[in-house]
Amino acid sequence: MNYCSRCGTPLVYRTPSGDNRPRFVCETCRTVHYENPKLVVGSIPEWQGRILLCRRSIDPRSGKWTLPAGFLENGETVSQGAAREALEEAGARLTDLVPFAMFNIPYVNQVHLMFRAKLEDPHVWAGPESLEVGFFEEEGIPWNELAFPVVKETLKLFFLDRDRGFRCFHLGDIPPISLDEF
Ligand SMILES: [Zn+2]
């Protein structure tokens, strides 16, 4: 962040009085530009036991498979955001969204909230951020071609719960790891 979004003055990175960490501060209009973690909302869309995945057409991780997910927008609830992302990325109409897992990813300053969800119908198509979309049985999941560690962790927990007949909410942390290694 270089300039004040309110008045255009170049920003200074310093600890404001009464605070305990440095922030981008505007010395002209005195605005403190706080930066806080972003919330990503996504889903595990299911149709007759198979899971909908999208192959990314955009960086980072273009060409890799992911669950539909993206940043929550202002003015929307977390379930609305997850449903919107599924519609945008895969043309998928979700129903029966149930919170499934929340992951802290402190090294990228994100929190991800993932929902279980059913599809209203199996008609899906690749949105602008997807090369293709498809339904996968557990055995067919492209484990070595997944886009992000959080996607792998979500799918592992989902199938583990399904095998054991569990239905509980998960809270986890994603450790820093190179995307080429996980
Ligand atoms: Zn300013």
2 domain residue, yes or no: no
16 domain residue, yes or no: no
Contact 117, 98 (CB under 8 A): yes
| Distance between Cα 11 and ligand 1 center (Å) | 8
Record the pTM. Answer: 0.93
Task: Give me the CATH number covering residue 42.
Answer: 3.90.79.10
52 domain residue, yes or no: yes
| Distance between Cα 153 and ligand 1 center (Å) | 42
Q: Computed over its alpha carbons, how large is the radius of gyration of the chain?
A: 19
| Distance between Cα 33 and ligand 1 center (Å) | 9
| Distance between Cα 15 and ligand 1 center (Å) | 16
Q: What is the average per-residue pLDDT within 150-172?
A: 96
Dist. CA 88–CA 75, nearest whole Å: 17
Dist. CA 18–CA 15, nearest whole Å: 8
6 domain residue, yes or no: no
29 domain residue, yes or no: no
3 domain residue, yes or no: no
The total of structural domains in the chain comes to: 1
pLDDT tens track for 20-61: 999 999 999 999 999 999 999 999 999 999 999 999 999 999
In terms of residue numbers, what domain contains 65? 38-173
137 domain residue, yes or no: yes
87 domain residue, yes or no: yes
| Distance between Cα 72 and ligand 1 center (Å) | 26
State the chain's mean pLDDT as an integer: 96
| Distance between Cα 1 and ligand 1 center (Å) | 12
pLDDT tens track for 72-95: 999 999 999 999 999 999 999 999
Which structure tokens are listed for 8?
């255009």
Question: For residue 180, what pLDDT band results from cuts at 50, 70 and 90?
Answer: confident
Nearest Cα residue to 89 out of 44, 45, 41, 54: 54
